[in-house]
C-alpha cells in the first residue's frame, strides 16, 4: 500500500499534536504530584541519577559497570514500590505519572519496526475519506444505494441487450474491483454518455477502498493535465515545484480515478502527459479507472495517438454505458 504523502503529512501532524498534548498533560500531572508529594520528586531524581552515577564511577575507575547495575535493580524496585504506595495513599491512580497514549501499541507514533501501526492506517483512511468527500459524495453514493431500476429493460439493437442487463454486469464488475483490489486487478475504462452512472460507480469504488486505507486520488482530466502545464510553463518556481509534487502523487497512489477524459484541451503537451501518466502507472503496476463520454470505438482513436489508444484498449477492461440519462429520471421521481 502506498500512502499519499499529502494526506499522510496531515495525519502525522495530528499525531504529533496529540503526542505533544499528552506529554503536556503528563507534565501538569507530574508538577501537581511534586507539589503535593515532594518525596515523589526526590524518588524520580534518585531513579534518574543512580544508573548514571554508577556508570560514571565505573568509567573513572576503569571497572565493569554491569555488577553495579545489577545491584541497583533492587534499589530501583524499592523506589518504584515506594512511589506507587505514595500515589495510592493520596488516592491517585498508580499510572497517574504515565503518558496516556491513545494507542499503547505504537505510543501514538503511528509506526512499528514492522511498518505502519493499525492506528495510522485507520487515521489515514478517515482523512482520505474526508479528502475524497470534497470531490465525491461517497457517503451517499455506495453500492448499496445504486439502483438498477433506473435503467431501461428495452433491448438496444446495437448492443443486443438492455441498458439494465448491461448495467448489472458493469455493477458486478465494479463491486468485484473494490472487493478484490490488488496487483492482479484490471484497470477500468468506463465509456458512455453523460448521466449513466460512471462517476457514481467510481465514487462507490473510491469509498470502499478508502475505508481499507488504499490510497485513492480522484480528479478530472482538466485538473490533472493543468498540473502538467503549470510544471512546464509556470515562471514561478514555487508553482512549478508544487505542480511537480502533485504529478508525483498521480504516479504514486494505489488507485487514480481520472474523470471526464476528453474534456481537456487538446495539445501535444497534454497528449504526451496522458501517455506518460498511463504508461508510468502501468509500468509501476498502479491501477487506474478512466471515465469518458467518448466512444471507445470511434472517438478515442480520433482524439488520441495510436500509442495511447493501444494502451487503453490493451491494458484496460472497457465497460460500456448506454441508455437514457438516469439523472433526468431521478429528478422525475
Mean pLDDT of 252-280: 94
Q: Greater confidence, 68 or 308?
A: 308
Residue of higher predicted confidence among 137 and 279: 279
Residues in the chain: 333
pLDDT of residue 218: 92
CA 244, chain centre distance (Å):
20
The per-residue pLDDT for range 137-154, each reduced to its tens digit, is: 767 788 998 989 889 999
Q: What is the CATH number of domain 135-332?
A: 3.40.50.300
The per-residue pLDDT for range 316-330, each reduced to its tens digit, is 999 999 988 776 655
Q: Is the pLDDT of residue 58 over 80?
A: no
The answer to whether residue 331 scores a pLDDT higher than 60 is no
Given pLDDT bands bounded at 50, 70 and 90, which one contains residue 212?
confident
User: Is 230 within 8 Å of 193 (Cβ atoms)?
Assistant: no
Percent of the residues in the chain that have a pLDDT greater than 70, as a whole number: 91
Residues 269, 186: Cα–Cα separation, whole Å: 27
Position 63 scores a pLDDT of 59
The pTM (predicted TM-score) of the whole model is: 0.76
**Residue 64: band (very low, low, confident or very high) from pLDDT cuts 50, 70, 90:** low
3-state secondary structure the chain: CCCCHHHHHHHHHHHHHHHHHHHHHHHHHHHHHHHHCHHHHHHHHHHHHHHHHHHHHHHHHCCCCHHHHHHHHHHHHHHHHHHHHHHHHCCCCCCCCCCCCCCCCCCCCCEECCEECHHHHHHHHHHHHHHHHCCCCCCCCCHHHCCHHHCCCCCECCCCECHHHHHHHHHHHHHHHHHCCCCCCCEEEEEECCCCCHHHHHHHHHHHHHHCCCCEEEEEHHHHHHHHHHHHHCCCHHHHHHHHHHHHHHHHCCEEEEEEECCCCCCHHHHHHHHHHHHHHHHHCCEEEEEECCCCCCHHHHHCCHHHHHHHHHHEEEEEECCCCHHHHHHHC
Where are the domain boundaries for CATH 3.40.50.300 in the chain? 135-332
In whole numbers, what is the pLDDT of the chain averaged over residues? 87
CA dihedral in degrees (260, 261, 267, 270; nearest 10)? 110
Q: Which of 2-11, 195-204, 309-318 has the lowest mean pLDDT?
A: 2-11
Does residue 333 carry a pLDDT above 50? Answer: no
User: What are the backbone angles phi and psi of residue 51, rounded to the nearest 5°?
Assistant: -65, -40
pLDDT at 263 over 90: yes
Amino acid at each position: 500500500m502506498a500512502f499519499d504523502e499529502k494526506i499522510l503529512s496531515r495525519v502525522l501532524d495530528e499525531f504529533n499534536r496529540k503526542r505533544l498534548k499528552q506529554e503536556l498533560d503528563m507534565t501538569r500531572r507530574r508538577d501537581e504530584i511534586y507539589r503535593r508529594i515532594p518525596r515523589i520528586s526526590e524518588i524520580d531524581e534518585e531513579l534518574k541519577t543512580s544508573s548514571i552515577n554508577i556508570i560514571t564511577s565505573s568509567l573513572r575507575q576503569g571497572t565493569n559497570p554491569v555488577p553495579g547495575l545489577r545491584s541497583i535493580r533492587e534499589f530501583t524496585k524499592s523506589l518504584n514500590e515506594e512511589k506507587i504506595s505514595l500515589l495510592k495513599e493520596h488516592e491517585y491512580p498508580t499510572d497517574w505519572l504515565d503518558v496516556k497514549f491513545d494507542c499503547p501499541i505504537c505510543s501514538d507514533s503511528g509506526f512499528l519496526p514492522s511498518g505502519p501501526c493499525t492506528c495510522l492506517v485507520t487515521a489515514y483512511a478517515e482523512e482520505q475519506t474526508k479528502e475524497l468527500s470534497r470531490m465525491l459524495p461517497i457517503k451517499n453514493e455506495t453500492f448499496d444505494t445504486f439502483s438498477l431500476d433506473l435503467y431501461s429493460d428495452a433491448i438496444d439493437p446495437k448492443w443486443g441487450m438492455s441498458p439494465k442487463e448491461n448495467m448489472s454486469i458493469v455493477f458486478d464488475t465494479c463491486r468485484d474491483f473494490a472487493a478484490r483490489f490488488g496487483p492482479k486487478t484490471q484497470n477500468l475504462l468506463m465509456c458512455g454518455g453523460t448521466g449513466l452512472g460512471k462517476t457514481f460507480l467510481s465514487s462507490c469504488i473510491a469509498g470502499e477502498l478508502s475505508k481499507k486505507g488504499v490510497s485513492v486520488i480522484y480528479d478530472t482530466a482538466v485538473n490533472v493535465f493543468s498540473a502538467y502545464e503549470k510544471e512546464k510553463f509556470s515562471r514561478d518556481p514555487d508553482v512549478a515545484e508544487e505542480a511537480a509534487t502533485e504529478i508525483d502523487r498521480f504516479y504514486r497512489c494505489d488507485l487514480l480515478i481520472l474523470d471526464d477524459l476528453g474534456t481537456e484541451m487538446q495539445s501535444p503537451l497534454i497528449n504526451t502527459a496522458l501517455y506518460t501518466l498511463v504508461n508510468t502507472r502501468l509500468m509501476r503496476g498502479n491501477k487506474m479507472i478512466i471515465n469518458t463520454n467518448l466512444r471507445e470505438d470511434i472517438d478515442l482513436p480520433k482524439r488520441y495517438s495510436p500509442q495511447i489508444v493501444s494502451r487503453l484498449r490493451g491494458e484496460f477492461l472497457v465497460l460500456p454505458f448506454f441508455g437514457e440519462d438516469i439523472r433526468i429520471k431521478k429528478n422525475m421521481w
